Amino acid sequence: RDISTARQPMKRDTEKNKAQWKTMGPAKVTVPSQKNFLKKHSKEPKLPERKKEQDSKKLPALSVPQRTNNPAMGIQSKKNFINANIVAAVTALPKKPQPVCVDRRQGDKYLLETSGLVPKYIKKKDYGVTPKYVTQRNEEKKRAQKEYEASILEHLQKAAMKQLSDEERTSLLQGLKKNWEEVYHEFQSLPVEIDTISKKLYKEKLESQMRQLEHDIEVIEKHKVIYIANE
């Protein structure tokens, strides 16, 4: 079987240190030196030494006037304080007496406001309750909002798109082609020489109508599925 290589050294150390705990009489303890006695204030915390940078800082300037700042002398006011006091006393409003109450004829006076005899709004039964007119106004506002939303929804439904059927698409295409032929016949019947402004304007009108009809015919022939808005 395997035997640890540290077994013998550990055994020797244990036997060597085993006798240290056995004593005959008082244990041999080193006596403290007489020189290392406890001094006064030795256990109190010591503040760190003051740095030189703190000493070099300047003291804040004091809000004290300098010796050279002499007060202004010789200034006199032209105000008549006697007349001003008389006017202030005449125009001043009389001080209203503070309302008090007396519990009996020869009793003491108490302030009426803190006596409980004056009704306070905060002590009313309906204090903090939403007034009826505010609730009614909110309900009317909600009802108006619902009616507005319903009208908008109805308008959107009316303006919704619908798909043209094949018969409607064919009839629409035939009608556009017929209109183009009529406009083209009118255009062919114009005189060769257009010498007036009215003839020129009429020719431009026929050309714009033909271009618009040709564009509409091309769009309908190109797209088989066509949606239009409900009237």
Nearest to 224 by CA among 165, 181, 182, 139: 165
What does each of the 231 residues of the chain score in pLDDT, given as a tens digit? 677 777 888 788 777 766 655 666 666 677 778 888 888 888 888 888 877 665 556 666 777 878 888 888 888 888 899 999 999 999 998 888 888 888 777 778 888 888 778 777 777 787 888 889 999 999 999 999 999 988 888 877 776 677 778 888 888 889 999 999 999 998 888 887 888 888 889 889 989 999 999 998 898 888 887 777 665
Question: 180: how many CB neighbours lie within 10 A of its CB?
Answer: 17
Nearest to 187 by CA among 170, 209, 169: 209
H-only helix segments in the chain: 7-17, 52-56, 81-91, 132-158, 166-188, 197-222
Tokens of 100: 């008090």
| pTM for the structure as a whole | 0.33
Q: Are the C-beta atoms of residues 199 and 190 closer than 8 Å to each other?
A: yes
Q: What is the radius of gyration, based on Cα positions, of the chain?
A: 57
Q: Are the C-beta atoms of residues 158 and 202 closer than 8 Å to each other?
A: no
Composition of the chain by helix, strand, coil, percent to 5: 50, 5, 45
Cα angle for residues 59, 61, 67 (degrees, 5° grid): 125
Q: Where are the beta strands (DSSP E) in 61-118?
A: 100-102, 109-111
| Sequence-distant (≥ 6) Cβ neighbours of residue 117 within 8 angstroms | 101
